[in-house]
A and B are shown apart, each in its own frame.
Chain A
C-alpha cells in the first residue's frame, strides 16, 4: 500500500498558555474524504492554518506526496496546490464570479483584462463542478451555496490538489448541502485529497471515508473505515467522556402565557404570525435558512419595526419600538451571529456581561458603582461556569461556547421573562452545547418562556416542547413534541414543489436518529 499523499508528522504548535497541537500525526489518502473532528479548541483550526501556511509549526512537518513541505506564506501553500475553504468565504462581493475566480491572475494582455476569455474560462471552471450560473454575475447577488461553489471553483482554477473544508455546511440549506456533497464526491473521484472539518456527525457518516479525532491538541484516533462506527462513539472520543444523552429532556409543567404574539406583520414575513409561548415552555421554530425565522424573532424583539400586530409579555402589551422597550418588558434576544450582533469584541468580559444591565449599577443614573458591577459579573461567570482567565479579558479571546454564555449572562442581571434564542448552539462544541441546553431547561423550570430558532433538526426535536414550522415567511404548522418527526418537519419546511429536495433532505438527516432520541 502506498503511503497517504498528505501526511502530518508530529506537529507541535504552542500559543501562550495553550498547546494547540501536541505531536499530532496522521495521513490523508488521495481519492478519499477524510473527516477531522474535535471540540472547539481541539486544534482543528490550528492544523488547517499550518497546512495553509498561516502558521509555522514549532516542530514536526507536513509531507505532500512523500516530500516534506512547509509553507512560509499562504501564497506558497496555494502554489503547492493547497486550498482551504473557510467558513467565512473569502470573496469580493462587488466583483463578478469570473473576476473572483481568477483574482490575482486575470486573463490579460499588457494590463488590459481580456473579458471574453475570462468569462469563457470561468464558465468552463463552473461547468466542471456541474454549475451553470452566469460568470458575469456579481458574487454579492449569489446565494451562500453558490458562493461556496465559486470558492471551490477558485481552488480548482489554481490547480489545488489538497482541498480542506472548514465547516462548509453551517449556513447552507438542505438542498445546498446535497449539491455540495455531490461536488465533494466528484472531487474525490478525480483523486484529490479532501479534508472535511465538521461538527455534524450525520454529515460525516454520510460523506466521509475516514475520520481523525482530535482532543485538546492531541491525536485521539484515526479510523480508515466508518462502517459500524456510531455517532455516540465518535462524540465520546471527542469529548473524552461518555455522552449517554446530549439533550436530557424532561417535561415541565406549563403556566399561563409568557409571550403572546398576535397578527404580527413586518419585513420578512408573508403572513401574519400568531402564537403563544407559556411560562415554562420551550418552543422551537424550525425552517430552512431564509424562511423568515430570524426575521420573526427580530420583529418580536422590536429590532425591526413591525407594520402590524401585538406582542404581549406576561399579559402586558409591548408598547413602543426597539430593543430598549422589549428589555423593559422582559424580552431578551440571543442573536444568530454572535460576533456581528451579540458581542463587543474589543471590550472585556466584564463590559460585555454588563452591556445592558450596568444602568442598574449607576448612582444617580450617572457614575457606575464598580464594585457592584464586578460582583454582578463575577456572579454570572460563576453561575454559568464561563471559562475566562479574568473579567478583564477581551471577550474576543473566549471560545464560542463561552461567548454564548456571556451573552446569556448579560440578560440574567436584567428582569427577564422571555428568551428569544436564534441558533443558540451554532459553532459551539458538544460539551458546551449540553451546558447551554441545561441552562435553557433551568430557566424554563423557573417559569421563563423560551423561543428557540434552530436549523438543526436533532436540536429542535431534542429540547422543544412544541415546534413551529416556517416556510416562505409564514408559520405553516405547530406540532407538539409527541407528533413531531424529522420527516414531518422536513416535509412541512421544504417548498411544496421541491419533492426531490425533500428526499435529499431526508437522506441528509436520516442517520442522526440515535442522537435525537
Chain B
C-alpha cells in the first residue's frame, strides 16, 4: 500500500500540488477562474513555457543554458531591425530565429568540442549576446513599422492567443521528441552517465551541439514572438528570464545533475509559476513582495524532490 502511494507520488506529485493550488486559488482568489483571466495567465507564461521545452533537453543532458534571456532580447531587436531595413516580415522572423540558432551552435561547440563548462560558456555568451542586442538597437527600443508583424503575438485562434498555441505546439513536439526518438532518449542517457553513453556508441558531442542549437532556435523564436507582442525589439527585455525558465523546469522535477526529466513535469512547473504570479497580481500583492513567494516555492519544490529521492531506508 505504501508502495502504491509512493509510486503515485513519484509519478504525479507535482501534478497533484498544481491541481490543489489551482482549485485553491479558484476558490479563494476572486476573478481567478474566468476565461479572460485564463487567457491572460496562459499568455503570461508563453515565453517561459516555450523556452522551457528545450531547457528541459539541456538540463536532462546534464548542462544548462544561461544565455536564453539575452538571446530573446537580441533576436527581438534583430528581427525589428531587419524588418525595418528590408520591409519583409518573413525575412525578419527568419533572421531572428536563425540568429538564436547560431548562438546555440556556438554554445554547443564551446561546451561539447572545446570542453568549456556550460556555466562559464553560456555566462560568456549571455553577456556577449546582450551586448549585441544593445549594439543592433543602439540602446533604444526599435519599433516595427509593419503591422503584419504584430499578428504573430497579438492575434488569437479559437479564443486562444497565438503565442499560447505556439507554446502548446512546442510542448507536444518536444514531449514527443524526448520520449519517442533516439535523440531524446540519448539526451537522457548522456545526462545520466556521459561516459557510459559514449562507450555505448552514442555520439555525445553531436547530440550536445544539437541540443544547444535547438535551445538557441527556440529562444530565438520566443524572442521574435515577444517582439511581436510588444510591437518592438527591446534590448533590455527578458533580464533574468533564464533563471525563471530553469526554476520552472526544477519545479517540474527535472534534475539539475541530468538524466531525469519529463515534459509533463515541465508543463506543471510552468503552470505553477504562472498561477502563483497571476494570483499575486489579482490579490494586488506589491511587486516587491512578489519575489518572496517565488523564491520560497522553488525551495519547497526542490525540498519535495529531495524527499522523493531519499533512499528506501
Contacts and interface: CB of A to CB of B under 8 A. Distances in A.
- Place the interface of chain B in its size category: 20 to 34
A340 interface: yes
B310 interface: no
Q: Which of B189, B199, B259: most chain A CB closer than 10 A?
A: B199
Interface string A132-144: 0000000000000
Interface string B190-202: 0011011111111
Contacts of A354: 185
Nearest to B260: A346
A156 interface: no
Contacts, number: 83
B199 A303 contact: yes
A290 to B, nearest CB: 20
Contact of A355 (B3, B200, B203): B200
Interface in A333-383: 333, 335, 340-347, 351, 354-356, 358-359, 362, 365-368, 370
Given A344-B189, A346-B259, A347-B192, A355 B202 contact: yes
A346 B188 CA distance: 9
- Place the interface of chain A in its size category: 35 or more
Given A343-B193, A355-B197, A55 B259 contact: no
B175 to A, nearest CB: 13
Given A16-B312, A345-B193, A303 B198 contact: yes
Determine chain B's interface SS by DSSP, over half rule: helix
Contacts of B199: 301, 303, 323, 333, 335, 341-342
Contact of B196 (A344, A358, A366): A344
Contacts of B196: 335, 340-344, 355
B147 to A, nearest CB: 39
Interface in B196-244: 196-203
B200 A410 contact: yes
A340 B200 contact: no
A362 B182 contact: yes
Contact of B3 (A16, A303, A359, A370): A16
Given A55-B313, A326-B201, A344-B259, 5 more contacts: A340-B193, A343-B196, A356-B202, A368-B182, A370-B180
29 contacts: A15-B313, A16-B2, A16-B312, A17-B3, A303-B198, A303-B199, A322-B198, A323-B199, A324-B203, A333-B199, A341-B193, A341-B196, A342-B196, A342-B199, A343-B196, A344-B259, A346-B259, A347-B188, A347-B192, A355-B196, A355-B200, A356-B200, A356-B201, A358-B185, A365-B182, A367-B176, A367-B181, A368-B185, A370-B180
Which 4 A-B residue pairs are closest in the complex by CB-CB distance?
Answer: A344-B192, A346-B259, A327-B201, A356-B200
